[in-house]
A and B are shown apart, each in its own frame.
Chain A
């Protein structure tokens, strides 16, 4: 009888007995993510499920990520099949108004410059000894676009998924901290004070409906490997612009996006097992992700300066910083920074154009990258 009591009691202590230091560290990391999401409002929709998933997977003996564990089932169904990031993209397309970039198509170029960090960081990762596909996954953090980073990493470097996703979403939420010093360092006060003329509404409904079709067909032909990314975001946008399927648009932007965000977040958190996550490699990935976003911002501002010169001072180079995919946060940062130097300067709509271009640019960059990899026989 006493032995049975002892055995039964040991069952209650087994979790504590198997708790390793790596699990404790990761539970603390999970709590920090929850704190950032709940208290600091940093991307709460993602950081809360990611943080909670991180805590769940680091509790020993629950085996949630073992075969038939519930987190493994969600992960296999949505991440390994690439379904979750693609469904999120339908929602993003349905939520995003691309009119600002259509009003001024030249801002597409800023959306391209904002992707330089992807390719430069890829080179840095290679120099640090990462394999080709690992370097691609690390570089894609520079897309500043969570679903793109998850799509590419889950497909080609799944062992880096936790680190890449956390880096992508954390740095996206830190854009208001990361970007301003770079913007100030690369521009003069005179440039920052440039007032841009207000844009007038100039895009017809026909153009807005044709836009997603053009991007899908052209982008798909140039970079077929990225068509799932392009196709889903543009499907969402077509539904939004045509106005004929309001119920589907609303469902994509709300119910589907919300459910998938929850499942995506908890699945990413589930990849943060202490034994796998707490490695030197993870810290390098996080550092390279930071570098990628700094390089994106710098390249965007530098192209903004080129446009400032070519337009004879009509374009404020600060809007170049918004050529990344952190939408609309980056545009707000530009607006705020511009108003620090000229209170009457309303750069928001111009920056929104660059920001929307950055969103398309990040998807195009990933699509092009995958097709180049395919062409080289790497994938």
Chain B
């Protein structure tokens, strides 16, 4: 594999993969916040 192909692959797949992974994590956290909403009383008890 030549260096240009390697560099472009790393940029596209690497950066794309990072963005996608963090995007998915962001969506899951948003979903988790809806499923497990913050309750002040529970936090105080804990």
A106 CB contact (under 8 Å) in B9, B10, B13, B26: B26
Q: Is the CB of B33 within 8 A of A207?
A: yes
Given the contacts A204-B37, A223-B17, A108 and B10 also touching, CB distance less than 8 Å: no
Chain A contacts for B7, CB-based, 8 A: 122-123, 126-127, 135
| SS class, residues of chain A in contact with chain B | helix
A–B Cβ pairs within 8 angstroms, 15 of them: A112-B19, A115-B18, A119-B11, A122-B11, A126-B3, A132-B3, A204-B33, A206-B36, A207-B32, A360-B22, A361-B22, A364-B21, A368-B18, A369-B14, A376-B1
A376–B43 CA distance with the chains assembled, in angstroms: 47
A364 close to B18 (CB less than 8 A): yes
Q: Which residue of A lies closest to B3 (CB)?
A: A126
Q: How far is the CB of B20 from chain A (nearest CB, A)?
A: 8
Query: Do the beta carbons of A222 and B17 come within 8 Å of each other?
Result: yes
* Contact surface of A with B, Cβ cutoff 8 Å: 102, 105-106, 108-109, 111-113, 115-116, 118-120, 122-123, 126-127, 132, 135-136, 139, 201-207, 210-211, 214-215, 218-219, 222-223, 243, 357, 360-361, 364-365, 368-369, 371-373, 376, 378
Q: How far is the CB of B12 from chain A (nearest CB, A)?
A: 9
Chain B residues near A112 (CB, 8 Å)? 15, 18-19, 22-23
Q: Nearest Cβ distance between residue A28 and chain B, in whole angstroms?
A: 36
Interface flags, B30-46, vs A, CB<8A=1, else 0: 10110011110011001
CB distance from B35 to the nearest CB of A (A): 8
Assess the A372–B23 pair: CB atoms within 8 A.
no
Answer whether A205 and B21 are a contact pair too, CB < 8 Å, given A123-B7, A126-B6, A214-B28. Answer: no
Contact partners of A106 in chain B: CB under 8 A: 26
Take A201-B38, A204-B36, A218-B24 as given contacts and tell me if A368 and B11 are in contact as well, using a CB distance cutoff of 8 Å. no
CB-based contact B17/A214 at 8 Å? no
**Out of A102, A119, A207, which one reaches B15, CB within 8 Å?**
A119
Q: Are A372 and B13 in contact (CB under 8 A)?
A: yes
Interchain CA distance A170-B38 in the complex, whole Å: 40
The answer to whether A372 and B15 touch across the interface, beta carbons within 8 angstroms, is no
Q: Which residues of B contact A210 (CB under 8 A)?
A: 32, 36
Closest-by-CB residue of B relative to A222 is B21
Chain A residue contacts of B25, Cβ below 8 A: 105, 108, 214-215, 218-219, 360, 364
Q: Which residues of A contact B19 (CB under 8 A)?
A: 109, 112-113
> Which residues from chain A contact B38 at a C-beta distance below 8 Å?
201-204, 207
Q: Is the CB of B11 within 8 A of A123?
A: yes
* New A-B pairs, 5, CB < 8 Å, besides A105-B25, A361-B22, A372-B14: A112-B23, A119-B15, A207-B32, A372-B13, A378-B6
**Which 4 interchain pairs have the tightest Cβ spacing?**
A108-B26, A206-B36, A368-B17, A105-B26
Task: Give CA–CA (A373, B13) in the complex, Å.
Answer: 10
Contact of A105 among B3, B8, B29, B43 (CB under 8 A): B29
Look across to chain A and name the residue whose beta carbon is closest to the beta carbon of B4.
A126
Give chain A residues whose Cβ lies under 8 Å from the Cβ of B33.
102, 105, 202-204, 207
Give the shortest distance, in Å, between A179 (CB) and chain B (any CB): 21
Considering the complex, give the chain A residue whose CB is closest to the CB of B5.
Answer: A376
Cβ–Cβ < 8 Å partners of A243 in chain B: 46
Residues of A near B32 (CB, < 8 A) are 206-207, 210-211, 214
**Interchain CA distance A206-B39 in the complex, whole Å:** 10
Contact for A365 among B18, B36, B39, CB less than 8 A: B18
Chain A residues with CB below 8 A from B11, complex form: 119-120, 122-123
Residues of chain B lying within 8 A (CB to CB) of residue A205:
42-43, 46
